[in-house]
Structure 1
Amino acid sequence: MHTAAVNLSASAADPDPDPDSLHRSVKVSIIITLGVMITVGNVAVLLVITSSVAGWSRSSRYFLLSLTAADSAFGLLVMPLNLWVSLLKDYTAGPDVLCHVVAFCNATIYSTCMYTLATISLERYIAVFYPLQYSSLMTRRRTLLLIAFAWCFPPCLLSPISFPDGIIEVHFSTASLVCNPSYSTNVGYSLSLTCLIFFPCSVIMTYANLRVWCAAKRQRLKLRQYDCARRSRHNVASRVLVPVMAAYYTCWTPCMAAMIYNAVSGSSVPEWIEFVVVWLPTSNGFLNCIFYFWINRSFRRKFYLVLQRLTFALCPKLADTFECCNASKTQFVSVLDNNNAVHGRSSSVSSTCTLLSLA
């Protein structure tokens, strides 16, 4: 009896942790970490592209600003809203107005991000294959219209999700900690969303980036024939375009496949698989910072300059410390910049002529 009483008191003092509570804590930690990474990365990007970056046209900056805003919304809007609902909502309660609003915001930002990626691919395609007509094709008005379409069309298309008594039912998923539309009850609407958002954007991105990659590969092969020294150059197209497309399909395809599976079969995927496929597209908001920006040398140089100015503004004493060193290096850097500008212009002319001949 004494032994049994000791064992009972020990088990009462050290109860087994609730598996659901442990899983939920791990999920919340993952979401918060991912949100911080996305926010910090895109804030650094905004500090740079709000000013001029060498080699980037005005239209390119507009599209990249739109992409950065869409990616930032993952960390500043999607994740806080869903975490807020997960803390406040009673899981036994049915759908409510708040869950419908959050689900509408989730779907809108996801769709806007895909449309923005598609417009960037289209803009790069025009810049490579129609360089002489680029200024007339990608005017400021057309650029803003494409950006407005990427931001305004998804809310119009997804507006039925926002109505509590509408045709789309919304529930809070304890597996993914997200307010999700019940696609299984509206198969036709679910499939139409996939056909109007994911597949068109995927086709545009795949076609445009594949054509640019093939043109860059042919250009590289031609340059090898006339200049053996260029054989040691890195394949810039493969280093940028291949990771961009690989990250896009890796992040978005599982989510779309799970949505179609839920709509057709009427059953849900396992808990952790649902969590991964639902939150995986948000990681594309952090990967875009790497593939679209940090690989670019001009962006890195501009970021170091902006960071240096911010450091000197926060700590003026550092400016006095480095003033002597900067003065001694000014002439040397100026000479290097002039030489790089000459080589950059000649390289740009050569690349443009080669791409024109390939096209």
Structure 2
Amino acid sequence: MYTTLNLSTSADSNLSDYQRLQELSHRSIKVSIIVVLGVVITLGNIAVLLVITSSVDGWSRNSRYLLLSLTAADSAFGLLVMPLNLWVSLLKDYTDGPDALCHVVAFCNATVYSTCMYTLATISLERYIAVFYPLQYTSMMTRRRTLLLIAFSWCFPPFLLLPISFPDGIIEVHFSTASLVCNPSYSSNVGYSLSLTCFIFFPCSIIMTYANLRVWCAAKRQRLKLRKYNCARRSRHNVASRVLVPVLAAYYTCWTPCMAAMIYNAVSGSSVPEWIEFVVVWLPTSNGFLNCIFYFWINRSFRRKFHLVLQRLALAVCPELANTLGCCSTSNTHFVSVIRDNNNSVHERSSSVSSTCTLLTLA
């Protein structure tokens, strides 16, 4: 009898040790993925900030303001969301219940996620107005209204998500060992959870889908006209399909699983499997890196300005290396200064002109 008890106790101990080792292995893999993702997002958005803080050919002042807002929201993924959750995962005892720190971290997570969606919707709206209302663009998208839209994108989400920050509020928050994130328990208040999707995800998705599809259809009609009346333009790249379609595809791929898991958790009261939860929770952060590709690196003017910024950094940081490579010769230095002066002296063009220059035949 005692032998049987000892064997069962030993088997349970071995099983618990194996489970503990497995959990530590999974946790190390998850931490590595989060760190790599955070570094990639941060470096990509730093490169973007180096460029759009100065003037870029073809980008109006309003476009730069909106893209700066998007870059700041994407940078918050790598500079705020990921460090806070990793810090909590190291400090927090997994056996503890909800605490004030976890509520604050969950509030920051939800705020950054929502701000990013609102900013993407604002950019789509601005481009829609620039393309379809070029003559009224200056009066419709003034500097003041653009800044108000940006302020709304950053201020409305914290106001809407404020109940998450209260430890004794209507939303319970627990640290999830599956996703290494302080997750709100949306099943504790189904009505509030569904209202979040109604005020955040669905409106932003409708605006983005409608605006981008309308612009894409207009560009397609123009492309067909060019093929009909000008055979030389048949080899021209379809810029609208190369930018607008990937933007929408990346948006829905990154955000839809997270919203679906949140609604499922709120309605059913149960959570999804461990690795599925980890993927759907952290997948939206990858949109912060994809935005750098679709909104910036595809743009030729942005790439040219980025190369110019790298030349300036090489001349400032390591002039000996630049001299060795022939980058700081008199002619090259004069060329760099001329480009810089031209960029700074050129008056900012209205985005309605730059956005509709390829859609003139629509009239």
TM-score, structure 1 as length reference? 0.88
Worse overlay, 131-140 or 117-126: 131-140
Q: CA deviation at 1:352?
A: 3.6
User: Secondary structure of the equivalent of 2:96?
Assistant: coil
Q: CA deviation at 1:330?
A: 6.9
**Is 1:225 the counterpart of 2:224 in the alignment?**
no
User: Secondary structure of the equivalent of 1:132?
Assistant: coil
**Is 1:61 the counterpart of 2:64 in the alignment?**
yes
Superposed CA deviations along residues 158-183 of structure 1, whole A, max 9, x for unmatched, are 00000001111100000000001100
**Is 1:327 the counterpart of 2:340 in the alignment?**
no
Matches within 5 A, 1:24-173: 24-173=27-176
Matched residue count: 336
Matches within 5 A, 1:174-253: 174-253=177-256
User: Aligned to 1:312, which of 311, 315, 321?
Assistant: 315
Identity of aligned residues (%): 85
Contact 2:188–2:266 under 8 Å retained in 1: yes
State the AA in 2 paired with 1:81.
Answer: L
Q: Residue 328 and residue 221 in structure 1: after superposition, are their counterparts in 2 closer, same or farther (change >3 A)?
A: same
Worse overlay, 123-132 or 19-28: 123-132
Contact 1:129–1:356 under 8 Å retained in 2: no
- How far apart in 1 are the matches of 2:273 and 2:361? 53
Superposed CA deviations along residues 252-297 of structure 1, whole A, max 9, x for unmatched, are 0000000000101111100000000000000000000000000000
Per the alignment, residue 359 of structure 2 pairs with 355
Q: Residue 330 and residue 188 in structure 1: after superposition, are their counterparts in 2 closer, same or farther (change >3 A)?
A: same
- How far apart in 2 are the matches of 1:172 and 1:42? 28
Superposed CA deviations along residues 218-253 of structure 1, whole A, max 9, x for unmatched, are 011111122111101110000000000000000000
- How far apart in 1 are the matches of 2:44 and 2:292? 6
Superposed CA deviations along residues 118-177 of structure 1, whole A, max 9, x for unmatched, are 000001101111112212111100000000000000000000000001111100000000
Q: Residue 323 and residue 238 in structure 1: after superposition, are their counterparts in 2 closer, same or farther (change >3 A)?
A: closer
Contact 1:104–1:158 under 8 Å retained in 2: yes
- How far apart in 2 are the matches of 1:189 and 1:54? 45
Per the alignment, residue 264 of structure 1 pairs with 267
- How far apart in 2 are the matches of 1:180 and 1:90? 15
The runs of at least 4 aligned residues of structure 1 exceeding 6 Å deviation read 328-331, 348-351
Matches within 5 A, 1:332-347: none
- How far apart in 2 are the matches of 1:186 and 1:349? 48
- How far apart in 2 are the matches of 1:177 and 1:43? 26
- How far apart in 2 are the matches of 1:75 and 1:189? 28
Superposed CA deviations along residues 94-136 of structure 1, whole A, max 9, x for unmatched, are 1000000000000000000000000000011011111122121
User: Secondary structure of the equivalent of 1:180?
Assistant: strand
Contact 2:38–2:79 under 8 Å retained in 1: yes
- How far apart in 1 are the matches of 2:358 and 2:194? 43
- How far apart in 2 are the matches of 1:21 and 1:225? 63
Worse overlay, 142-151 or 317-326: 317-326
Q: CA deviation at 1:185?
A: 1.2
Runs of at least 5 residues in structure 1 that lack an aligned partner in the other structure:
1-7, 339-344
Greater RCO (CA < 8 Å, at least 6 residues apart): 2
Q: CA deviation at 1:355?
A: 3.2
Runs of at least 5 residues in structure 2 that lack an aligned partner in the other structure:
1-9, 343-348
Superposed CA deviations along residues 37-69 of structure 1, whole A, max 9, x for unmatched, are 000000000000000000000000000000000
